[in-house]
Amino acid sequence: MQQLILIQHPEAQHHLNGMVGSWTDWPLTAAGEATATQIGKKLAPILAAHDFESYCSDLTRTSQTIAALPVTDVHFSAQLREQNLGVAVGQTRQWEFEHAQEVHDKSERRFEGAESELEFEQRVQQFYEQTLCDNPHDLLVVSHGGWLRKLMPLLMGQPAVNVWGAPGGVSWFERNVGETNWYIKRINDLSLQV
């Protein structure tokens, strides 16, 4: 069986300081680093038993997460970043809520310079189609909560499924080599943190 492991980066500074995450390059907190280390220890046997092809967002919090895992030859990509919130990047969450534009469909942007929901979904779908669909390797992806929320429906073949995970959550899928459908083993498993 082909394996696909998805990891949402653990607790980062923006989870605690009231700031927007998005493309702001926040590092993990000390607790987040400890969580990443625990996840790495728990996943070490499976990662050692398979030859995983690894992909990671190029932001610091995800890079720190994958650095705690026993993997090499990681493909870092801006394509795996969280949704770009344009002028809200670097602002407080309060500023984000006060200045967000009302949107009526997925093609509209909430902020100047931001990605629309549709553009964000298309970016995730492009990665899915180009990297995950026909790839015969075992795969490891480290990314962000919003990005993984957009990937889950594609894996499950379900439109508009809204699956939010917790920081440090690990989701695990598998499929028979040559098949297109992924089967769920775990969704947002937090037991690997302890």
**Residue 113: burial class (beta carbons within 10 Å; 0-12, 13-18, 19+):** exposed
CATH number of 2-193: 3.40.50.1240
**pLDDT higher than 70, residue 122:** yes
CA distance 127 to 50: 22
Residue 3: what are its φ and ψ, rounded to 5°?
A: -105, 145
- Residue 190 near residue 166 (C-beta atoms within 8 A): yes
Phi-psi region of 186 (alpha: psi -120 to 50; beta: other; left: phi over 0): beta
pLDDT tens digits, residue range 9-22? 999 999 999 999 99
Residue 74: what pLDDT? 97
**pLDDT higher than 90, residue 82:** yes
Any known ligand binding at 61? Answer: yes
pLDDT-wise least confident of 11-15, 114-118, 176-180? 176-180
Going by pLDDT thresholds of 50, 70 and 90, the confidence category of residue 160 is low
CA distance 76 to 115: 20
CA distance 118 to 88: 18
Going by pLDDT thresholds of 50, 70 and 90, the confidence category of residue 159 is confident
pTM equals: 0.95
Best CA proximity match to 144, nearest among 63, 73, 62, 54: 62
